[in-house]
Every structure is written in C-alpha cells, then in structure tokens.
Amino acid sequence: MSNKPSVSTILNCYRRPHSLKTQYEAVKSQTIHSEEIMIWKNHPLDSTQFDFSEINDSAISINNANYGVWARFAFALNSNSDYICVIDDDTIPGPRWYQNCINSIEHEQNGLYGTVGVVFHDLDYKNFTRHGWPNPNSETKRADIVGHAWFFHRDLLSAFWREVDVPLSRICGEDMHFSYSIQKYLNLNTYVPPHPSDDLSLWGSQPSSAYKYGVDDNAISVECSGKSTFGESLTKYYNKGFKLLDIPQTVESQSSKVLAAPSCS
C-alpha cells in the first residue's frame, strides 16, 4: 500500500439527474483526493435525461438496459486505486468521509465500511437497528451489512465475485452478498466508521439530502414497498452460512418458505 492511498469513486445514475452535480462536487471536495470518478448509468424506463457536460473528467458508461445495483461492483473492477468508494445516487458525503474510512481501515480494522449499518433482529428485514447517518455513532460500530456508500480496499472485490449465482433480484441483495462474501472468504467484517453528531464532515451521507432524495418516488424502498424481496435475499445468505450479529444459526424465517422472489423490476 502506498504512503498516500489512492481512491476511485463509483457513482451510479438511474433516475436522479437533479442530485448528480451536488454529489460530484461533494466527491471533488474530499480531503482525500479521488484519483478517478467513474459513472455507471443504468437505462431508466422513463425519459429521464442526464447532463454530463460539467463532469468531463469522468469515465462514463451509459447502458441501454437496467442492470440494477450489482453491475456497479463489476464496473469497479476497472478502477486503478488502492481504495474504492461506491456511492448511491441519493447520498452526498461530507468532505472528510474518505479520510474517515481510511483512518478506520488502517488504524482500527480492515473490512467493508459504509455510511449506514444494519444489525438484523429477524430474517424478514422488519426488525433491525441502524447506525451511521440515521443514528449517529461516536465510535466505529460493527454491522451485518452497510449501504448508501461502501468504502473498501480494492482487494475485497475478489471475494465479492467468488460466487456468481444469479441474484434473486437486480434491485437489492448486493449489500448482503458483499458482507457475506468477505466474511466467508477473507474473514473480514462490516463496519460503520464514526458519525459524531457534532461533526457532519465525517459522515458518509448528509442527513438533509438523504431524507430529501431517499424517500422520493425513485427510491427502491418505495418501489418495492410491501414486497418481501429484501427478506428473501437476507434468508438466502443466512442459509448459505452468513453469520449475523444478533441471530443464531437456528432461526428459521417465514421468508425461507417462499420458493421464488417476486419481481420488482
């Protein structure tokens, strides 16, 4: 690892052109410079248009299909840096987010870091505790999975792609798959770095924008409201041996009795 660690940023675009410029500026304002910004654009079903004219220093992949949330982690294989940060399109990081994650990885524990961590209390994705931007934590917290922004050493992608079975859904499950994979193949865990309530510069997502964008009509949680895809995905990885912090390996979920996941596309 170099003395000055390099970072590649993966942004993804789908139906939120209104947040792209703000997100891009937040990445450019990081105290740890992003060596490259790579944009993965899925094709929406509607006529949503993006203006990339002010983002002319980025590698942009524009697709004529919607490959969902998994493809950006394949796109990340093209990066050239020590670290990678994959950011959801509703997430605006504070200027010291990259610095926060690197400090945590290099001085505390290597692993997968994110701006919101989830600790599950059941397998149906209905009872859980969150840490990070929705529930500030003064110290690093271990979680079952993280989301909204993923920060990790590039080597972790080797675990992500060790198992390539077809996902139950293209719109969810990648977060569970990532944490499961590094636990199984690298003996690494998943964490939320400090999100102190008095210093938003360290946060991976600014709460004002997270609440604004995260519950609009483009949110996956709105799109799949009332469906059990999330619970089915969690049960799948639990049955494959994913060790969860608060659930022993003897619990059986109602979701495990469902043979096929409903479509959310």
From CA 155, how far away is CA 125, in angstroms rounded? 29
Q: Are 210 and 231 in contact (CB under 8 A)?
A: no
- CA distance from start to end of the chain: 40
Among residues 161, 22, 187, which one has the least CA distance to residue 95?
Answer: 22
Ranges of residues in the chain whose predicted pLDDT is under 70: 1-2, 214-227, 251-265
Instruction: Show me where the domains of the chain are located.
Output: 7-257
Q: Are 175 and 145 in contact (CB under 8 A)?
A: yes
DSSP 62-116: E-SS--TTTHHHHHGGG--SSEEEEE-TT----TTHHHHHHHHHHHT--EEEEEE
Give the CA distances from residue 70 to residues 139, 164, 243, in Å, rounded to whole numbers and listed in that order.
30, 11, 22
Predicted confidence (pLDDT) per residue in 13-53, tens digit: 998 998 999 999 999 999 999 999 999 999 988 778 899 98
The DSSP 8-state label assigned to residue 167 in this structure reads: P
| CATH (residue range 7-257) | 3.90.550.10
